[in-house]
Amino acid sequence: MNPKEFAARRKRLMHLMGAEAIAILPTAPERTRNRDVDHPYRPDSDFYYLTGFPEPEAVAVLMPGRPQGEFILFCRERDPLMETWHGRRAGLDGARERHGADDAFPISDIDEILPGLLENRARVFYTMGLSAEFDRKVVEWLNRLRQQSRAGIHTPGEFVALDHYLHDMRLYKSRGEIAVMRKAAQITARAHRRAMQTCRPGMAEFQIEAEILHQFMSEGARSPSYPSIVAGGDNGCILHYTENSDVLNDGDLLLIDAGCELECYAADITRTFPVNGRFSAAQRAVYDIVHEANLAAIEEVKPGNHWNQPHEAAVRVLTTGLVKLGLLKGRVPKLVKDEAYKRFYMHRTGHWLGMDVHDVGDYKVGGEWRVLEPGMVLTIEPGLYIPLGSKGVAKKWQGIGIRVEDDVLVTASGHEVLTRDAPKSADDIEAVMT
Ligand code: GLY
Ligand code: MN
Ligand code: MN
């Protein structure tokens, strides 16, 4: 991402905050995996959105109108010994020169410096409740300032929810963000294609997961954006199945829900295909319904439509299909109204997508579904799940779990399916698998 884009975001946020305000954003802490081993580090999305600063132990402070500079970054100092063991650090000079900070201070000095920055600012923009420890620090800094208060110094009187402003900004993706998301979607589409081409009966789910991760990594996306779901047969009916430890059986379907993360942006694709490369008649019948629901929902993604219209379209197609298969009985409008489809389709049709896989942004505004606008990115992911042992359901449908998920950008004229390179129709999938 161009450093100018981070600067433009800060400027926009500071404009929304107004003068006399101060924003405080800590990045994410490092988290222990076991004993002295940490999880791979991932910065906080809000912090990274405004700074592009990848290191832990950092706090960004924005002060609109501050004469000595509006963007202050607290971070770790250079330290040859620590860097020999744990990796390079930007240090205070790097924070200024490479990350656009007007001022940079050691993170170890934050308790001394921060109370002074709060002086004479009226409003503190801060996201409360993410870290009890950091919440406590903010209160301590304010209290310190109150105790020192002398004539002429005001302590801030107002706390404002920073996430409210920031998350609305993050909902509208810039050209730079869309370029990264398109690339993440393309890498992920190639990973799903690779999985289809590699899959054979008798392989283990984790072997297919390895193919997916290999494609991500070899294209520079070091991490998936969420734990990959590689679910053969009946496992496909467990929505968040992540054990990925079973053997793939001839005659079963394989549901893969996996996406890479690139430059802190997520892709999120699900494809479902036959382990042996050929859909059975029953599998294809269910597959075609989910595929049709996916296409019908995508058609509803356009400016002016509201958030729930794709879901409503998917539900209509799925319910009609379930009646045709004999899995539901009755009239479609009444079955939709009674939510009879929920037995086989128990989740919603999508979510916002961005730096977080379930991205930020309100789905309703003033109690009404949000209207779609260009620059928003969402997933479309209808499915049908018919587990083994489903009562009153013919055997041939049991053990079928299907989801078909794409990432869709709202454009001025309609939409762009960012994940269009992942084979989707039953015919296309069979062709890729021959
Ligand atoms: N992979 C998470 C989701 O599809 O929502
Ligand atoms: Mn999703
Ligand atoms: Mn998904």
Q: What is the DSSP string of 292-361?
A: HHHHHHHHT-STTSBTTHHHHHHHHHHHHHHHHHTSS-S-HHHHHHTTGGGGT--S-S--B-SSSSS--S
Annotated active-site residue in 358, 362, 363, 368: 358
Q: Using an 8 Å Cβ cutoff, are 90 and 98 in contact? A: yes
pTM: 0.97
Q: Which ligand is nearest to the Cα of residue 347, counting in written order? A: 1
Distance separating alpha carbons of residues 354 and 112, to the nearest angstrom: 36
- Confirm whether 347 is a catalytic residue: yes
Gyration radius of the chain over CA positions = 25
Q: Tell me, what amino acid is at 150?
A: R
Tell me how far the alpha carbon of residue 361 is from its chain's centroid. 11
Atom of ligand 1 at shortest range from CA of 351? 5
What pLDDT, on the 0 to 100 scale, is given for residue 216? Answer: 98
Decide: 298 and 292 in contact? Cβ < 8 Å: no
d(CA 120, CA 304): 43
Residue identifier of the C-alpha nearest atom 4 of ligand 1: 268
Query: Is 357 a pocket residue for ligand 1 (Cβ < 6 Å)?
Result: yes
Taking only the tens of pLDDT, the chain with its 434 residues reads 899 999 999 999 999 999 999 999 999 999 999 999 999 999 999 999 999 999 999 999 999 999 999 999 999 999 999 999 999 999 999 999 999 999 999 999 999 999 999 998 999 999 999 999 999 999 999 999 888 776 678 889 899 999 999 999 999 999 999 999 999 999 999 999 999 999 999 999 999 999 999 999 999 999 999 999 999 999 999 999 999 999 999 999 999 999 999 999 999 999 999 999 999 999 999 999 999 999 999 999 999 999 999 999 999 999 999 999 999 999 999 999 999 999 999 999 999 999 999 999 999 999 999 999 999 999 999 999 999 999 999 999 999 999 999 999 999 999 999 999 999 999 999 999 99
- Burial, 142: exposed, middle or buried (Cβ in 10 Å; 0-12, 13-18, 19+)? middle
Q: Separation of 259 CA from ligand 2 center, angstroms? A: 9
How many C-beta atoms surround the C-beta of residue 149 within 10 A?
Answer: 12
What is the pLDDT, as a whole number, of residue 337? Answer: 98
Q: Which of 357, 378, 380, 419 to mutate to test the pocket of ligand 1 (most atoms within 8 A of CB)?
A: 357
- Which domains, ranges and CATH numbers included, belong to the chain? 3-169 (3.40.350.10), 172-433 (3.90.230.10)
Rounded distance between C-alpha atoms, residue 89 and residue 82, angstroms: 9
End-to-end CA distance of the chain: 39
Find out whether 254 and 272 touch, Cβ atoms under 8 Å.
yes
| In the block, residue with structure tokens 């009674």 | 338
Query: What burial class does residue 370 get, using C-beta atoms within 10 Å of its C-beta: 0-12 exposed, 13-18 middle, 19+ buried?
Result: middle
Atom of ligand 1 nearest to the CA of 381: 4
Nearest-atom number in ligand 1 for the CA of 268 is: 1
Residue with tokens 């008798």: 202
Query: What is the DSSP code (8-state) at residue 75?
Result: E
